[in-house]
């Protein structure tokens, strides 16, 4: 006889495990199905371990430039690749074990296997096609396996995987995805990165700081194409100053593999084809949702351009079936998945005043050097919508704290509705802007106007003062520039 639950979540990534915890908190009998590793791609192969790698690169950068801070270090400072990778993997293991603990603490059953929707309110869990990646941390006691399970509500949180271009498929040796890029056995001397979105540019930044000769190929006119063009331009100058080679409006049309290198045929903006040879290549051309073989067709669950179609609360067109996170469409961000999870579960539980997802208020962060962060409309999008706008800018070079830190290259840009004073968007490039952006996110959620921000006291000396100065500049009132 099938075991029955109130909620079953398929996938334990940042969306899935948060959905399971919130459901359990609300008194719903809950289980989560996982085929590979608790905490999903984010904690095991994405957000967290990549930040560990980038932190090691940051420390190396400072250690190799001690004179900028009046410090003398005798002898060469060199990276220990094995130790760097081991530190990153150890942090992933810690996060993985932490989610296992949270499942146990919240009395969420963990079902190991491959889940498939068979009919409304029912899933069948079969054998895993992948080995469990559960490093060190013991499995929660409340674990189950193959069988049939039923639930009033089934939430699909199966995430996404790297997208591959025909003829340029990653092979794990010469052409990498982020999986191989995170744990190289040896440091390549040269690297070609195809795609300059968050994943591509973060790895480009890491490997360049490690001393690798890095070339980036991007099909769009700017690096990090989703960002404001002006901010992308500032970032590109810094990347090139660090020694990166960047080709915009260019595409890899063909790849030839050697014994220990790849040669990419790159069609440039002018139509000419240039051959670029590198030891390794990273394919970072986006991700695709894991929608195959989970029974969507059997239930008639609608998809749209490769993603499960949902409303603002995670509902699909099939009653009792929901989707959250990457599998439900862009932006492909862990914090978007987490927020969707809470919205979805609270709506299921019938809580009052549950607000649908507002994608314009989802911040985006890229942890390259310099960092890039944003929320809301870019200047181009605001103009395309026919908005009359005011734009403010403030450079880090005019900020005392940034100068003291030796991080004076960056800027903050704010966009306001000229008629109402509504903050439409905020865009930043520079040191620690991924920590600063949340100030503008809160402001937008509170429907803060330029007047509210001007009346807010920012502490001195902090980089956050650039935020207020940017607001002031939009109205011709900047005080320090």
Catalytic residues: 460
Element (H, E) at 337: helix 334-348
Element (H, E) at 8: strand 3-10
Q: How far apart are CA 428 and CA 456, in angstroms?
A: 19
Let me know: does 364 contact 55? Beta carbons within 8 Å.
no
Parallel/antiparallel/unpaired status of strands 122-126 and 114-119: antiparallel
Q: How far apart are CA 192 and CA 246, in angstroms?
A: 10
Q: How far apart are CA 421 and CA 218, in angstroms?
A: 36
Angle at alpha carbon of residue 271, lines to 269 and 274, rounded to 5°:
90
DSSP 243: T
Let me know: does 375 contact 434? Beta carbons within 8 Å.
no
Q: How far apart are CA 8 and CA 151, in angstroms?
A: 6
Q: How far apart are CA 11 and CA 101, in angstroms?
A: 16
Q: How far apart are CA 364 and CA 376, in angstroms?
A: 9
Q: How far apart are CA 465 and CA 481, in angstroms?
A: 12
DSSP 315: B
**Which residues share a beta bridge with 371?**
430
């Amino acid at each position: 006889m099938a075991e029955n639950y109130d909620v079953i979540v398929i996938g334990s990534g940042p969306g899935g495990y948060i959905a399971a915890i919130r459901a359990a908190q609300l008194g719903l009998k809950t289980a989560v199905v996982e085929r590979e590793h608790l905490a999903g791609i984010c904690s095991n192969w994405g957000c967290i371990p990549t930040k560990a790698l980038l932190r090691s690169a940051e420390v190396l950068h400072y250690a190799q430039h001690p004179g900028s801070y009046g410090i003398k270090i005798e002898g060469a400072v060199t990276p220990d690749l094995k130790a760097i990778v081991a530190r990153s993997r150890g942090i992933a293991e810690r996060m993985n074990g932490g989610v296992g603990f949270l499942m146990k603490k919240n009395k969420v059953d963990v079902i190991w296997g491959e889940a498939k929707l068979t009919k409304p309110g029912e899933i069948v869990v079969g054998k895993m096609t992948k080995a469990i990646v559960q490093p060190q941390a013991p499995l929660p006691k409340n674990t189950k396996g193959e069988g049939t399970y039923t639930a009033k509500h089934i939430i699909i949180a199966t995430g996404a995987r790297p997208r591959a271009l025909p003829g340029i498929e990653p092979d794990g040796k010469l052409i990498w995805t982020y999986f191989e890029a995170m744990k190289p056995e040896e440091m390549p001397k040269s690297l070609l990165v195809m795609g300059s979105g968050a994943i591509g540019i973060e790895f480009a930044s890491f490997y360049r700081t490690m001393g690798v000769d890095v070339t980036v190929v991007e099909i769009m006119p700017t690096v990090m194409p989703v960002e404001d063009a002006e901010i992308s331009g500032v970032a590109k100058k810094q990347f090139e100053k660090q020694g990166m080679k960047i080709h915009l409006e260019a595409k890899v049309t063909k790849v030839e593999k050697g014994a220990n290198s790849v040669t990419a045929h790159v069609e440039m903006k002018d139509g000419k084809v240039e051959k670029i040879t590198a030891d390794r290549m990273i394919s970072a051309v986006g991700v695709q949702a894991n929608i195959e073989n989970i029974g969507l067709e059997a239930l008639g669950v609608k998809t749209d351009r490769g993603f499960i179609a949902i409303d603002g609360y995670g509902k699909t067109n099939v009653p009792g079936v929901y989707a959250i996170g990457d599998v439900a469409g862009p932006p492909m961000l862990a914090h978007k998945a987490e927020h969707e999870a809470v919205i979805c579960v609270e709506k299921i539980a019938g809580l009052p005043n549950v607000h649908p997802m507002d994608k314009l208020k989802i911040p985006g962060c890229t942890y390259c050097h310099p960092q890039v962060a944003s929320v809301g409309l870019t200047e181009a999008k605001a103009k395309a919508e026919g908005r009359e706008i005011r734009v403010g800018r403030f450079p880090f070079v005019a900020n005392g704290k940034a100068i003291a830190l030796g991080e004076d290259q960056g800027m903050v840009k704010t966009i306001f509705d000229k008629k109402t004073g509504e903050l439409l968007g905020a865009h930043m490039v520079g040191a620690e802007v991924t920590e600063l952006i949340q100030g503008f996110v809160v402001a937008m959620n509170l429907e803060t106007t330029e007047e509210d921000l001007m009346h807010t006291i920012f502490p001195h000396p902090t980089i956050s003062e650039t935020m207020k100065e940017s607001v002031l500049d939009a109205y011709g009132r900047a005080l320090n520039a």
